[in-house]
Amino acid sequence: MTIINKFTRNKMKSKLLTITLLLITSVCFSQAIEIRYNQLGYFNDRDKIISITSKNSFSPQAFTVLDASDNVVLSGTSETVNYWSDSQEYVSKADISSINTAGAYKFQANGLEVLFNIGTDIYQSISDASLKYYYYNRASTSISATYGGIYARSMGHPDTNVRVHSSAASSARPTNTIISSPKGWYDAGDYNKYIVNSGISTYTLLAAYEHYETYYQAKTINIPETGGDLPDLLDEIKWNLDWMLTMQEPLDGGVYHKLTGLNFSGRIMPNNYNATRYVIKKSTAAALNFAAVMAMASRVYSNYETELPGYSTALINAAEAAYAWAESNPNVYFTNPAGVNTGQYGDTNVTDEFQWAAVELFITTGNTNYSNDINLLSIGNGTPSWQYTDPLALISMLYHDSAFSSSDINTAKNIFLSTADALKNQVDNSAMNITMGTSNDYVWGSNGVASNQVILLIRAYEITNDSSYLDSAYVAMDYLLGRNGTGYCYVSGFGDISPVNPHHRISDSDGVTAPIPGMLCGGPNPGRQDGCSGYINTSKAGSYVDSWCSYASNEVTINWNAPLAYGLNALNFYQNGASLSVNDFDLSDTTLTVYPNPTQGEFDLKSTRKIESVTVYNAIGKIVHTTTSSHIKLPNIQDGLYFLRVNTEDNRTYVKKLLKR
């Protein structure tokens, strides 16, 4: 037997106590440290940031990155710790951008470990889901198992027996007149349909299609129309456009503000809704949103006249009638009539909507009456929202720059870039490397703000060819996907921690545990207007709770999902669809020649095979011209490098460089 004296026992107790305290301290400190990262993953050859955060100040942390075989591929120490006031946390950046091999990885720091991926198709599934969300939110139809899987449901809200509310009554349509107003998307977590919010939502999806046409022509999202005559995105948009058209009174061109019941419904499925539905009051904001969207849609759908005879014409006619009504009724601001308690979407300043509608109408029609209504000195910058549409006018002007004078485009460009520059600076220099930074960013629907800011950075890249804007857009998207003040990926069905209890009646009532995937929740909202308990904290970037109760932070809406879908798909496009590698060029192949090259704007293609089509891209992948002719004139394009993609009758594709000077 070993005899241990009192001194030895006390010494051992002391040592054990010391070890125990060290272990407790280590565990507590590890728990105090959190790792925030893009839970979808990171793209090859793009910046890759992982943020280490804590409520307490800490020293830069040693970190290690291992591959799937547990080989160390990178080790280092995180950067200087900074205080991030938005979430009342301290933050240190670990830059792992040097890793560019596709695969699964582990990031380890201070005893913690997270898994992440690197690849080229990181956003493929989530970008599809962000668009498929609109199909799940369709009114006036059932969702079949073929297209909806476990989210199949019965039809609700046929909206073929809608009453004209007294506030919307006219001599042509007295109170309680029955009209038919089917289709459209449920606006948010409720079952109502609002023209104003449909405005920016539909515009953003139309802009996505217009800006990346070839990408969306090839993209399918498994909806009933898939495989038909139109690209899937245009089929989905048309479901809402068809409803919007029914919201215009034919006699005078005015547009009803919304179609709702008198009150919000309970937590029920669409087919269990039996309250009377009404069109409520016309408004100037509704007419102008309607006019802008219909004008834009008219030029997009004009390419499908064979498939939809007369549709484009009907859209522009409706747009012009609505604009004329708004000009005659410039101050009809919407407030809920007595007895109506659904969403208001009130706006008492519609100067921005007038500018936006005039821009879209002028681009589509070329009518100088509309250009005369555009006043660039009154168009503001900033982030777009349903109640602030000036930036939408700038985006359309800068995309359709040939329709405007060079001086007007320069002015619009300067206005637009002042916002983009501030956002890029915020990404580069803020503690968390995100666009969000001001109190105005953390509002009801703050994730919609963040999504639209990504769009502004992408468009800045488009109009300047400055890749630093695009780099910032990729980094900024991290915020929505997990590298933020809560550690949530804010898109349902994706990431390691994502919303499971969104304020969305269908997901709440369908009996399926998991919510419909691809929905962007509203995000941190220090206003916390719902009065719910359980908020992560009260900071600007932390005021979020994953609860049905929290309509102020966890609701979903069509106007937040639209910029998410735009951003995810655009970044996916630039990673995979806009670049042409050296392997695309067969310099020894003389089957196709281009002359003269360099060109001043007019050139010929000579091929031993019959040419079926020619697409001309600029250096950032934007289509600038399409034709079936072998003699091409491009007199108005700027000097620089272009690419020709030529398809021949035997299904061969050639890519050639073209220099314009």
Nearest residue to 508 (alpha-carbon basis) of 173, 252, 315, 268: 268
Where are the domain boundaries for CATH 2.60.40.10 in the chain? 11-119
Lowest mean pLDDT among 67-76, 205-214, 611-620: 611-620
Cβ(520)–Cβ(489) below 8 Å: no
Q: Residue 552 pLDDT more than 80? A: yes
Q: How confident is the model at residue 430 (pLDDT cuts 50, 70, 90)?
A: very high
Question: Residue 140 to residues 46, 161, 180, 374, 503: CA-CA distances in angstroms?
Answer: 43, 12, 11, 38, 21
Query: What pLDDT digit, counting tens, does each position of 368-416 carry?
Result: 999 999 999 899 999 999 999 999 999 999 999 999 999 999 999 999 9
| Polymer length of the chain | 661
Query: What pLDDT digit, counting tens, does each position of 576-628 carry?
Result: 865 444 344 443 445 788 888 888 888 989 888 888 888 888 765 667 788 88
Output the pTM of the full model. Answer: 0.86
Question: In the β-sheet with 631-633, what is the strand arrangement from edge to edge?
Answer: 592-595, 602-607, 631-633
Cβ(496)–Cβ(482) below 8 Å: yes
Question: 3-state DSSP call for residue 35?
Answer: strand
Q: Which residues pair with 646 in a beta bridge?
A: 614, 654
Q: Tell me, yes or no, if 211 is annotated catalytic.
A: no
Where are the domain boundaries for CATH 2.60.40.3080 in the chain? 582-660
Residues 61, 53: Cα–Cα separation, whole Å = 10
- State the amino acid at position 1 in one-letter form: M
Q: Which position among 211, 503, 504, 530 bears the catalytic label?
A: 503
Q: Is 157 left (phi over 0), alpha (psi -120 to 50) or beta?
A: left
Residues 383, 349: Cα–Cα separation, whole Å = 16
The CATH class that applies to domain 124-576 reads mainly alpha
What are 428's two structure tokens? 């580069």
Average pLDDT rounded to a whole number, residues 466-486: 97
- State the amino acid at position 77 in one-letter form: T
Please give the share of the chain, as a percent, with pLDDT higher than 70: 92
What are 380's two structure tokens? 């503001």
CATH of 582-660, one of 3.30.160.100, 3.40.50.300, 2.60.40.3080, 2.60.40.420: 2.60.40.3080
Query: What pLDDT digit, counting tens, does each position of 113-147 carry?
Result: 999 999 999 999 999 999 999 999 999 999 999 99
Q: Which position among 89, 225, 530, 555 bears the catalytic label?
A: 555
The sign of the CA dihedral 368, 208, 558, 540 is negative
Residues 516, 133: Cα–Cα separation, whole Å = 7
Q: Residue 217 pLDDT more than 90? A: yes
Residues 483, 503: Cα–Cα separation, whole Å = 23
For residues 309-345, one letter each, b for 16 or more C-beta atoms within 10 angstroms of the residue's C-beta and e for the rest, the string is: eebbeebbebbbbbbebbeeeeebebebeeebebbeb
Question: 3-state DSSP call for residue 168?
Answer: helix
Q: How confident is the model at residue 438 (pLDDT cuts 50, 70, 90)?
A: confident
Q: Tell me, yes or no, if 503 is annotated catalytic.
A: yes
Cβ(580)–Cβ(657) below 8 Å: no
Burial class (CB in 10 A: 0-12, 13-18, 19+), 559: buried
Q: What is the DSSP string of 471-506?
A: HHHHHHHGGGGT-SSS----BTT-SSS--SS-B-HH
Q: How confident is the model at residue 418 (pLDDT cuts 50, 70, 90)?
A: very high
Q: What is the mean pLDDT of the chain?
A: 92
Q: How confident is the model at residue 13 (pLDDT cuts 50, 70, 90)?
A: very low
CA 361 to chain centre: 24
Cβ(37)–Cβ(50) below 8 Å: yes
- State the amino acid at position 602 in one-letter form: E
More confident residue, 25 or 490: 490
Lowest mean pLDDT among 333-337, 435-439, 518-522: 435-439
Query: What pLDDT digit, counting tens, does each position of 506-538 carry?
Result: 999 999 999 999 999 999 999 999 999 999 999
Burial class (CB in 10 A: 0-12, 13-18, 19+), 262: middle
The confidence score (pLDDT) of residue 620 equals 58
Lowest mean pLDDT among 25-29, 522-526, 547-551: 25-29
C-alpha dihedral (179, 182, 187, 189), degrees to nearest 10? 100
Please give the share of the chain, as a percent, with pLDDT higher than 90: 81
CATH of 11-119, one of 2.90.10.10, 1.20.810.10, 3.40.718.10, 2.60.40.10: 2.60.40.10
Nearest residue to 244 (alpha-carbon basis) of 208, 281, 199: 199
The confidence score (pLDDT) of residue 11 equals 36
The confidence score (pLDDT) of residue 621 equals 63
**Lookup result for tokens 């803020």:** 430
Residues 460, 570: Cα–Cα separation, whole Å = 13
Q: How confident is the model at residue 10 (pLDDT cuts 50, 70, 90)?
A: very low
Q: Which position among 159, 353, 478, 546 bears the catalytic label?
A: 546
Nearest residue to 280 (alpha-carbon basis) of 343, 330, 218, 324: 343
Q: Tell me, yes or no, if 555 is annotated catalytic.
A: yes
Average pLDDT rounded to a whole number, residues 474-499: 98
Q: Which residues pair with 585 in a beta bridge?
A: none
Nearest residue to 362 (alpha-carbon basis) of 385, 315, 396: 396
Residues 524, 593: Cα–Cα separation, whole Å = 56
Query: What pLDDT digit, counting tens, does each position of 359-368 carry?
Result: 999 999 999 9
Residues 284, 290: Cα–Cα separation, whole Å = 10
Nearest residue to 594 (alpha-carbon basis) of 580, 614, 576, 578: 614
Q: Residue 157 pLDDT more than 80? A: yes
What are 546's two structure tokens? 């994953």
The confidence score (pLDDT) of residue 20 equals 38
Q: Which position among 187, 190, 320, 360 bears the catalytic label?
A: 190
What are 517's two structure tokens? 């995937």
Cβ(316)–Cβ(295) below 8 Å: yes
The confidence score (pLDDT) of residue 6 equals 32
Segment (H or E) for 202:
helix 195-211
Q: Tell me, yes or no, if 546 is annotated catalytic.
A: yes
**Lookup result for tokens 């199949």:** 152
Going by C-beta distance under 8 Å and a sequence separation of 6 or more, which residues neighbour residue 380?
A: 352, 388, 390, 391, 415
Nearest residue to 556 (alpha-carbon basis) of 259, 36, 136, 126: 136
Where are the domain boundaries for CATH 1.50.10.10 in the chain? 124-576
| 144-150 contacts, C-beta under 8 A, 24 or more apart | 144/224, 146/224, 147/222, 147/223, 147/224, 150/512
Q: What is the DSSP string of 86-113?
A: TTTEEEEEEE-TT--S-EEEEEEETTEE
